[in-house]
Amino acid sequence: MLTKNQNITLKIDGMTAEGNGVGHFDGVAVFVPGSALGDELEVHIVKVKKTYAFGKILNIITPSADRISSDCNVSMKCGGCAYRHISYDAELQIKKQRVFDAFTRIGHFENPPLQNVVGSENQNHYRNKAQFPVGQDKNGNLEIGFYALGSHRIIPCKNCALQPKNFEDILTIVETWIEKNNVSVYSEETKTGLLRHIYIRRGHYSKEVMLCLVINGKSIPNEEHLINELKEKTDNFKTLVLNVNTKDTNVITGQECITLFGEGYITDTLCGLTFRISPLSFYQVNPPQAERLYTLGKEYAELTKDDVLLDLYCGTGTIGLTMANDVKKLVGVEIIPEAIEDAKKNAEINGIDNAEFICGDATKAAESLKKQGLSPSVVLVDPPRKGLTPDLISTIVEMNPTRVVYISCDPATLARDAAQFQSSGYALTRATPLDMFPRTAHVETVVLMSKVHTVANDKCFK
Ligand code: SAH
């Protein structure tokens, strides 16, 4: 029996969805963060459950061939990067295996038509967005960084390798402003203090910069000082926004935004179109990969001018709008009102007049669109990790599209949902994973589910 504090020798023979290596000892799965497939390790057991345990690397006896030296000294602490210690090729292999395993084990697909992972040209500095929690250490010193994995302890870090390099300079400007103006920082314990998060967005192509301060209040001291410093020292600084979050909550942003400088949004381009990005709207964090994802989605959708395209979970409308010129009509659905406002503006900015955007929950909105007689030939879905509801899949099936393009950020829920589509008459015809978030454990997948034409259906068409 494995016990806590025991030291064991372990061979890593698999990887989990979270990016931990896993080995087996006396029939018990032992998860080891920071390990690599093929590692032979001396491991200290830190936690034991009935069927699994967690261990910490004490010593690498024989390193995996995939190992490289990590270039970040906080990656094991902040938990953002799961794969900084292995080669990028090995990372892409692991991600493909993860999607394959989900399709075969969860979706019970025998032979999923899975392509290789589309890798990202940039594995560092690819993100266009960061949200840094602000706090104080036990000596009252200011801390800016990231939360440690699974906790709200701040790991100080201003130069994360995934972020654009100039985010560090912006953080330094904010830090100086905090210190010079005695700005209080929020404490989760006492629920007092003003500044909670420093949230930065930067257009990948436009290079426009937005700074959003998430505060427990409605105003900040000496905003002129901050604005002047940002204008002077940050290239393409476009807007400063306050986001009001006075709640005792884990959610980073609140509902209300107050613009102190500029327009309250930045713009950037994707697939040749211009998009407006507000603090509360979802926007793809790795634009060159998002462009590849959309291009693949468009290829899978096989659009013609006769098609009606329903884009569910449309965010600011980006995917659908990049396809709007290829179809007769586009209908987008999204739950965040600000994102729908952005989507409408985005259609206008780009001169697209065959698009309609609806604010609402995808399941409910699809049901009511069906009742109104909408009959899309192509449905595109891009849900958050929890995937689609069984009711939404039923509604989509009842709308009878010939193609369903599913973009997913969670292979497990994708496989589950694809299985429901399959049992409702849609075959999984194409599937490609894409690496939107290099060095982290996340992987996106785009699939095409095509309506299976039965003999009876073919007769109907005659
Ligand atoms: N397709 C967009 C956004 C994808 S992210 C793009 O490529 O940019 C998923 C989106 O789903 C987010 O914008 C989120 O706000 C939205 N969303 C989350 N739950 C939803 C729901 N129940 N109904 C509709 N939209 C939802």
Q: Which residue's CA is the closest to the ligand 1 atom numbered 19? A: 335
Q: What is the pTM of this model?
A: 0.92
Q: Does the Cβ of 284 fall within 6 Å of ligand 1?
A: yes
Residue appearing with tokens 């659908």 = 320
The whole-angstrom separation of Cα 328 and Cα 319 is 15
pLDDT value of residue 460: 41
Q: Which of 334, 336, 367, 382 to mutate to test the pocket of ligand 1 (most atoms within 8 A of CB)?
A: 334
Q: Does the Cβ of 339 fall within 6 Å of ligand 1?
A: yes
pLDDT value of residue 70: 85
Q: 204 C-alpha to center of ligand 1: Å? A: 21
Residue appearing with tokens 């409408």 = 344
Q: What is the pLDDT of residues 335-349, one digit of tens each?
A: 999 899 999 999 999
Nearest one of 405, 160, 395 to 297, comparing CA atoms: 405
Positions annotated as catalytic residues are 409
Tens-of-pLDDT digits for all 462 residues of the chain?
Answer: 899 999 999 999 999 998 999 999 999 999 999 999 999 999 999 999 999 999 999 999 999 999 999 889 898 888 889 999 999 999 999 999 999 999 999 999 999 999 999 999 999 999 999 999 999 999 999 999 999 988 999 999 999 999 999 999 999 999 999 999 999 999 999 999 999 999 999 999 999 999 999 999 999 999 999 999 999 999 999 999 999 999 999 999 999 999 999 999 999 999 999 999 999 989 999 999 999 999 999 999 999 999 999 999 999 999 999 999 999 999 999 999 989 999 999 999 999 999 999 999 999 999 999 999 999 999 999 999 999 999 999 999 999 999 999 999 999 999 999 999 999 999 999 999 999 999 999 999 999 999 997 655 444 443
Q: Which atom of ligand 1 is nearest to the CA of 320?
A: 1
pLDDT value of residue 334: 97
- Give the torsion sign (CA, 439, 104, 112, 452): negative
Residue 354 contacts residue 324 (beta carbons within 8 Å)? yes
Q: Does the Cβ of 334 fall within 6 Å of ligand 1?
A: yes
pLDDT value of residue 454: 64
Q: 335 C-alpha to center of ligand 1: Å? A: 7
Q: Which of 289, 313, 316 to mutate to test the pocket of ligand 1 (most atoms within 8 A of CB)?
A: 313
Residue 117 contacts residue 105 (beta carbons within 8 Å)? no
Q: Does the Cβ of 148 fall within 6 Å of ligand 1?
A: no
Q: 313 C-alpha to center of ligand 1: Å? A: 4
Residue 20 CB coordination number (10 Å): 19
Q: Does the Cβ of 361 fall within 6 Å of ligand 1?
A: yes
Q: What percent of the chain has pLDDT over 90?
A: 93
Residue 327 contacts residue 354 (beta carbons within 8 Å)? yes
**What is the four-CA torsion angle of 335, 336, 337, 342, rounded to 10 degrees?**
-110
Q: Does the Cβ of 313 fall within 6 Å of ligand 1?
A: yes
Q: Which residue's CA is the closest to the ligand 1 atom numbered 12? A: 315
Q: Does the Cβ of 362 fall within 6 Å of ligand 1?
A: yes
Q: Does the Cβ of 289 fall within 6 Å of ligand 1?
A: no
Q: 314 C-alpha to center of ligand 1: Å? A: 6
pLDDT value of residue 455: 55
pLDDT value of residue 337: 93
Q: What is the pLDDT of residues 387-410, one digit of tens each?
A: 999 999 999 999 999 999 999 999
Q: 333 C-alpha to center of ligand 1: Å? A: 8
pLDDT value of residue 459: 45
